[in-house]
Structure 1
Amino acid sequence: MGGVAEDAVTVVSELVANSVEHARWGAIRAVVGRPTANVVRLGVVDRSKVLPILRTEFTGVPLRGRGLVIVDRLTARWGTELYPWGKQVWGELWVEGR
């Protein structure tokens, strides 16, 4: 995976933290896929249908609420897929030269 391993760990960590914090369900699932030779897709699935919001301004506690900002900066793109029973929040990393 070249030099994306550290970014992948950070993205998954932030997605898991967001799911634990906001979905508040007893179980989540981490998903790793390779939709193309140059892309690694990392996702976290939970049973909440509440969509994530990318914040641009931060007030209150200075070290909270920045998970999606980190995901947005580290990934080529990210998004949400809704399911009848919940959602998956995912981010894609570009793997150069693969």
Structure 2
Amino acid sequence: MLIETAGVGDPAYKQCLPREPESARIARHLTASALHTWGLIEAKDSAAAVVTELVSNTVRHARRDTIQVTVTRTGERLVRIAVVDFSPEFPEARNAHQLGEAGRGLAIVAALCDGRWGTDPLRWGKRVWAELAVPEAKPDE
């Protein structure tokens, strides 16, 4: 597994992955590794859910064979998770039917990130991102 670090700017880890469902597991590992490195492990579960949803949406709706996942520390206790793909189509938050299996992903992302998510257009596709505020670790009592 090749994980790259950003050369300048905010600390970041990124990895190109095949556009297939199994890549969600690799993206979770990348995210957990970055959080562990930065001492922000308190966000592990939320970050895993966010990256899984973003990768799953990309696998389902994007074009081409690869995606790129990036985990960036944008502040002392802020982490941005982004997935880049080659589709110009922006994701849309939808109301999921009560018994339907699809349509809840972006609502989950929005809830976990307190609404801090978005899409950046790129010349050849888009970047979908979500930013997590990492809670302070609670001291053991």
Normalising by structure 2, we get a TM-score of: 0.64
Aligned to 1:46: 85
Task: For 1:44 and 1:23, locate their aligned partners in 2 and report how far apart those are by CA, in whole Å.
Answer: 11
Q: 2:103 aligns with which of 40, 65, 80?
A: 65
Runs of 4+ that moved beyond 2 A: 56-59
Task: For 1:50 and 1:27, locate their aligned partners in 2 and report how far apart those are by CA, in whole Å.
Answer: 16
Q: Displacement, 1:65?
A: 1.8
Task: For 2:62 and 2:90, locate their aligned partners in 1 and report how far apart those are by CA, in whole Å.
Answer: 10
Asked if 1:23 corresponds to 2:70, the answer is no
Q: Displacement, 1:96?
A: 2.7
Task: For 2:97 and 2:90, locate their aligned partners in 1 and report how far apart those are by CA, in whole Å.
Answer: 19
Asked if 1:8 corresponds to 2:47, the answer is yes
Task: For 1:24 and 1:13, locate their aligned partners in 2 and report how far apart those are by CA, in whole Å.
Answer: 18
Asked if 1:75 corresponds to 2:113, the answer is yes
Q: Displacement, 1:57?
A: 4.4
Give the aligned CA root-mean-square deviation in angstroms: 1.7
Q: Displacement, 1:97?
A: 3.3
Specify the code of the residue in structure 2 equivalent to 1:69.
A
Q: Is the 8 A contact 2:96 2:102 kept in 1?
A: no
Task: For 1:57 and 1:21, locate their aligned partners in 2 and report how far apart those are by CA, in whole Å.
Answer: 16
Task: For 2:52 and 2:107, locate their aligned partners in 1 and report how far apart those are by CA, in whole Å.
Answer: 13
Alignment gaps of 5+ in structure 1: none
* SS class of match (2:80): strand
Alpha-carbon displacement from aligned partner over 1:8-61 (angstroms, at most 9, x marks no partner): 0110000000001011321001110011112100011001010110112437x7
Task: For 2:82 and 2:110, locate their aligned partners in 1 and report how far apart those are by CA, in whole Å.
Answer: 13
- The structure whose Rg is larger is 2
